């Protein structure tokens, strides 16, 4: 998608054997089969040539690898680059948002310009050229304008937002609710249940996002409601799929052990509960998802407990 907008796109691939195959076949047969890489996408397995002299550094690493990858890149990062984070998660232990992790690491050399990119985007549909809308967010609107202009195109529409906190929190927490939506699907529950879960899930996400400095309106936008609906209902959602298998009774270790890609919601569930406890925020859906992940609660019992909570106003 970015290849027509930049003369040179370097794609760093972690797996050396996959990188070699991609150079030879021009296709990612492991993670995105069926799509040919444009000729100006240069696949590399070494971080130095990947980022050296880059105008834009776009990272989509799993959240638990972000600190390590940026630490390894640090000696080669160009001070003038724009840093765009598309990772949707919260760092375990520190409970930092991913842009905060990037800023913390890179600030050892220079003060980076960091923004976040989020929204309802399945990679396969983006690669297929299906119309997609998402949002870029930072406190520096000039940076937002620069990324918006560089990334937008005929099938990829980027909006600007000056609330990176809300955008990042929404992108991370929607994966937790998607686990719950998958559990409902796995239990054979219908549309009423999923609609209620999405709506009350959005209320939970909003409470925690606002508590850590996000803006309420952000949660009604692409990074909030848009991504939440996609991840809770879309067939390509990894987090929803994990939830479906949990609802069917499979143990978590067996589900994640058979997956090629990371379901961020698993680790984010525990980080979100730690963050909620720090700020005194009630997250009943997230708490039940955590209990299911820990094996402390049967999925159907978790649904029953949510329905039988004390009655209150919306």
pLDDT of amino acid 9: 97
Over residues 215-229, the mean pLDDT reads 97
Residue 233 has pLDDT above 90, yes or no: yes
Mean pLDDT of the chain: 96
| DSSP assignment letter at 174 | H
Q: Which percentage of the chain shows pLDDT scores above 90?
A: 94
The H-or-E segment that residue 141 falls in is: helix 141-151
The H-or-E segment that residue 140 falls in is: none
Which residues participate in catalysis according to the annotation? 174
Residue 231 has pLDDT above 90, yes or no: yes
Whether residue 113 contacts residue 162, with contact meaning beta carbons closer than 8 Å, is answered with no
Residue 251 has pLDDT above 80, yes or no: yes
pLDDT of amino acid 257: 86
Residue with tokens 């001070």, as numbered in its chain: 79
Over residues 229-238, the mean pLDDT reads 95
Over residues 247-272, the mean pLDDT reads 90
- Supply angle C-alpha 98, 103, 109, rounded to 5: 145
**Where do the CATH 3.40.50.720 domains begin and end in the chain?**
3-162
pLDDT of amino acid 69: 97
> pLDDT confidence of 258, banded at 50, 70, 90?
confident
Over residues 40-47, the mean pLDDT reads 97
Residue 68 has pLDDT above 90, yes or no: yes
Over residues 6-34, the mean pLDDT reads 96
Q: Which CATH class is domain 3-162?
A: alpha beta
- Rounded CA gap, 240 and 215, in Å? 26
> pLDDT confidence of 310, banded at 50, 70, 90?
confident
Over residues 63-67, the mean pLDDT reads 95
- Rounded CA gap, 202 and 205, in Å? 5
Residues 6+ apart with CB under 8 A from 17: none
Residue 86 has pLDDT above 90, yes or no: yes
> pLDDT confidence of 147, banded at 50, 70, 90?
very high
pLDDT of amino acid 181: 96
Residue 260 has pLDDT above 80, yes or no: no
The H-or-E segment that residue 134 falls in is: strand 132-137
- Side-chain-facing half-sphere of 223: CA atoms under 13 Å: 35
> pLDDT confidence of 171, banded at 50, 70, 90?
very high
> pLDDT confidence of 12, banded at 50, 70, 90?
very high
| pTM of the predicted protein model | 0.95
Whether residue 135 contacts residue 223, with contact meaning beta carbons closer than 8 Å, is answered with yes
**Where do the CATH 1.10.1040.10 domains begin and end in the chain?**
165-307
Residue with tokens 């990176």, as numbered in its chain: 164
- Rounded CA gap, 167 and 180, in Å? 21
Residue 311 has pLDDT above 90, yes or no: no
- What CATH number should be reported for the domain whose range is 165-307? 1.10.1040.10
* Sheet strand arrangement including 82-85: 56-59, 82-85, 113-118, 132-137, 156-161
Residue 261 has pLDDT above 80, yes or no: no
Residue 259 has pLDDT above 90, yes or no: no
pLDDT of amino acid 313: 84
pLDDT of amino acid 17: 97
Q: How far is CA 220 from the centre of its chain?
A: 17
| Other C-beta atoms lying within 10 Å of the C-beta of residue 44 | 16
């Amino acid at each position: 998608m970015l290849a027509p907008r930049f003369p040179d796109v370097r794609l760093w691939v972690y797996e050396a054997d996959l990188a070699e195959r991609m150079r030879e076949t021009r296709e990612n047969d492991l993670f995105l089969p069926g799509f040919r890489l444009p000729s100006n996408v240069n696949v590399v397995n070494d971080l130095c040539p990947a980022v050296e002299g880059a105008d834009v550094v776009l990272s989509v690493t799993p959240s638990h690898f972000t600190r390590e990858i940026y630490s390894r890149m640090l000696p080669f990062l160009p001070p003038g680059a724009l840093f765009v984070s598309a990772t949707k998660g919260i760092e375990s232990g520190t409970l930092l948002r991913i842009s905060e992790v990037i800023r913390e690491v890179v600030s050892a050399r220079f003060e980076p310009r960091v923004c976040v990119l989020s929204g309802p985007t399945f990679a396969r549909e983006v690669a297929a050229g299906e119309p997609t809308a998402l949002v870029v967010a930072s406190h520096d609107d000039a940076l937002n304008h620069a990324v918006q202009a560089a990334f937008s195109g005929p099938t990829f529409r980027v909006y600007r937002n000056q609330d990176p906190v809300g955008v990042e929190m929404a992108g991370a927490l929607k994966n937790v609710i998607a686990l719950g939506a998958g559990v409902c699907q796995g239990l054979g529950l219908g549309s009423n249940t999923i609609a209620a879960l999405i709506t009350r899930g959005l209320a939970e996400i909003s409470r925690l996002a606002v508590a850590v400095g996000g803006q309420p309106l952000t949660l009604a936008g692409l990074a909030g409601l848009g991504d939440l609906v996609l991840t809770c209902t879309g067939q390509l959602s990894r987090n929803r799929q994990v939830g479906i298998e949990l609802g069917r009774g499979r143990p978590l270790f067996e589900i994640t052990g058979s997956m090629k890609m990371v379901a961020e919601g698993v680790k984010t569930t525990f980080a979100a509960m730690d963050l909620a406890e720090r700020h005194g925020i009630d997250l009943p859906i997230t708490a039940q998802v955590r209990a299911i992940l820990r094996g402390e609660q049967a999925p159907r019992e978790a649904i029953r407990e949510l329905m039988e909570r004390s009655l209150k106003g919306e």
